[in-house]
Amino acid sequence: MKSPIRRNIQVMAGYEPGEQMEGPGLVKLNTNETPYPPSPRVARALRALEPARLRLYPDPVCSRIRTVLAARHGVRPEQVFVGNGSDEILRLITLAFVEDDGSIGSFTPSYSLYEVLAESRNVPIRKVALRPDFGWRMPASFRASVFFLTAPNNPTGVSYPPAEVRAFCSRFKGLVVIDEAYADFADWNHLELAKRLPNVLVMRTLSKSFALAGVRLGYLVGAESLIDALVKLKDSYNVNVLTQTAALAALEDLPYMQKLVGRIRASRTRLAEGLAGLGFSMAPSEANFLWVRPGRIAARALFEGLRARRILVRYNPKHWHPEYLRITVGTNAEIATLLRAIREIQG
């Protein structure tokens, strides 16, 4: 007997994360992970965690983490929201602040998850194309419920002048979410806007500069009314005990994070100089990766040649410019291996 229910289901395209590969000899430069371990305090804190603590639910609002982050950024704990990675926070934002007849705005190219979030809400995504230098100019007529402003941008690594961002946020009629996943690697950030403007949220993560991508913790800073809306929508216990323990330990060791960031910035310069010597052009990066255009070989051919040598970089022609690759800054040894391989492939 046929079902009386008529089905008209469209299969949406999901987010495609960078390839995960394991094994000896792998050089993994495709997912913007930090190539060094987190602060030693993280391991000590996890070892000291009483197993009996795992039988209890975690703090539902991450009170201690919110207090530490509030003190660091000069806000009240009620102005901080903590989530299970930035991706959970982005999803909650689209639920809380995008109307059924609304829309989502972003740059192109930018983080491709924004398109998936728009599709999941069945709303249009309105893209603002970046200029050839990967800067931006917002059309005067542009409108959206939420605009995801990624700074530094992913995949370009370009950061935008504070005055330019402030002017846009001040005149934009919707909510601006400044995604600052890579802000610790940049010369400036836009956190002050979340403290001054009622329509701005700034999002950070511990995945990059704190080397905690594996535990998944992101957070927002902004007006208390905006934060409260997200608290009402989140899962009851969205951040587990192990993540909260690791995050607190990492946040209590800022000098370690700053030292790690310094090493990566120095290696970023080394990588940029090495690639320029091989004929590459690239955007000026303020992140822990480079957005590069090979000069002597097609991007796809280089991507495949590197992959055959167990060196992973990011090639995403579906969402990004097909002539560009994104390369995460690795250790100096990994950079040397990469440059040798490129010389071989280019002949």
> Assign residue 137 a region: left if phi > 0, alpha if psi is -120 to 50, beta otherwise?
beta
pLDDT digits (tens, 9 = 90+) for 30-84: 999 999 999 999 999 999 999 999 999 999 999 999 999 999 999 999 999 999 9
> Mapped to the 3 state alphabet, what secondary structure does 10-59 carry?
CCCCCCCCCCCCCCCCCEECCCCCCCCCCCHHHHHHHHHCCHHHHHCCCC
pLDDT tier for residue 195 given thresholds of 50, 70 and 90:
very high
Residue 11 pLDDT class (50, 70, 90 cuts): low
Q: How many CB atoms lie within 10 A of CB 73?
A: 17
Strand bridging mode 104-108 / 146-150: parallel
CB burial of 35-66 (b: ≥16 within 10 Å; e: otherwise) equals beebbebbeebeeeeeeeeeeeebeebbebbb
Compute the distance between CA of residue 335 and CA of residue 34 in angstroms, rounded to an integer: 13
- Residue 2 tokens read as 């046929």
Residue 99 has pLDDT above 80, yes or no: yes
Q: What mean pLDDT is reported for the chain?
A: 94
Closest CA to 225 of 249, 204, 248, 198: 198
Question: Residue 326 corresponds to which amino acid?
Answer: R
pLDDT of residue 322: 94
| Helix 40-48, helix 241-251: angle, nearest 10 | 140
Partners of 106 in the β-ladder: 127, 148
Sheet (strand 289-293) strand order:
281-282, 289-293, 325-328
CA-nearest of 123, 206, 116, 107 to 165 is: 107
Segment 229-239 shows an average pLDDT of 97
Strand partners, 293: 281
Domain ranges of the chain: 27-38+255-346, 40-252
pLDDT for res 16? 67
Mean pLDDT of 89-95: 98
* pLDDT tens column, 300-329: 999 999 999 999 999 999 888 999 999 999
Indicate the pLDDT class of residue 338, thresholds 50, 70 and 90: very high
Q: What is the mean pLDDT of residues 15-31?
A: 81
pLDDT at 97: 98
Q: What percent of the chain has pLDDT over 70?
A: 95
pLDDT tier for residue 15 given thresholds of 50, 70 and 90: low
Number of Cβ within 10 Å of residue 207's Cβ equals 22
Answer with the residue of higher pLDDT: 270 or 18. Answer: 270
pLDDT at residue 5 above 70? no
Alpha-carbon torsion, ordered 150, 127, 135, 298, to 10 deg:
100
Work out the pLDDT band at 19, boundaries 50, 70, 90.
confident
Q: Per mean pLDDT, which range of 6-20, 116-130, 150-164, 244-258 is the poorest?
A: 6-20
Q: Which two tokens stand for residue 154?
A: 């992913």
Q: How confident is the model at residue 342 (pLDDT cuts 50, 70, 90)?
A: very high
Please determine, for residue 96, whether its predicted confidence score (pLDDT) is greater than 70.
yes
140 confidence band (pLDDT: 50, 70, 90):
confident
CATH classification of 40-252, choosing from 3.30.930.10, 3.40.640.10, 3.20.20.70, 1.10.10.60?
3.40.640.10
Dist CA 284 CA 268 (whole Å): 10
Q: Assess whether pLDDT exceeds 50 at residue 9.
A: no
CATH of 27-38+255-346, one of 2.40.50.140, 3.90.1150.10, 3.30.365.10, 3.40.50.12780: 3.90.1150.10
pLDDT range class, residue 23, cuts 50, 70, 90 = confident
CA distance 134 to 316: 17
